Amino acid sequence: MLNISNGNVGKVYDKSTKGYNAASALSEKLNTYIKPSPNLMIINPVDSLCDGINYLIINENFGLYNQGSHLSNAGAKLVLGQLPIMDVPIDLIDEK
């Protein structure tokens, strides 16, 4: 169910925590298989798209997902734009 109340104009959140819980559980499981390395940055989209209560699925401009659980270009740009380092300006990422 979507929450598009007046307080969320321009943003749409998934009212269910099912997606958040599933994404968090999968991330935790995958992280157990990753060997720590100083040359590795683990990117967890949940950190950028969720505030712990709400799970953002549409922002002011775009839908953040394609085909259910795959990030759209807009979703990927939002996640990558919040990384502490980014060599390529987000505007230069190809939008095919």
pLDDT on residue 33 = 92
Alpha-carbon torsion 92, 83, 40, 96, what sign?
A: negative
pTM over 0.95: no
- Residues 6 or more apart whose CB falls under 8 angstroms from that of 16 comprise 1
Please state, in angstroms and rounded to a whole number, the distance separating the CA atoms of residues 57 and 67: 12
Position 6 scores a pLDDT of 45
Which residues, 6 or more positions from 2, have their beta carbon under 8 angstroms from its beta carbon? 12, 13, 14, 15, 57
Digits of tens for pLDDT over the chain (96 positions)? Answer: 444 444 444 566 676 777 777 778 888 898 899 988 888 888 888 888 887 777 788 888 788 888 777 889 988 888 888 777 655 555 555 554
Number of domains in the chain: 1
Domain that holds residue 76: 2-92
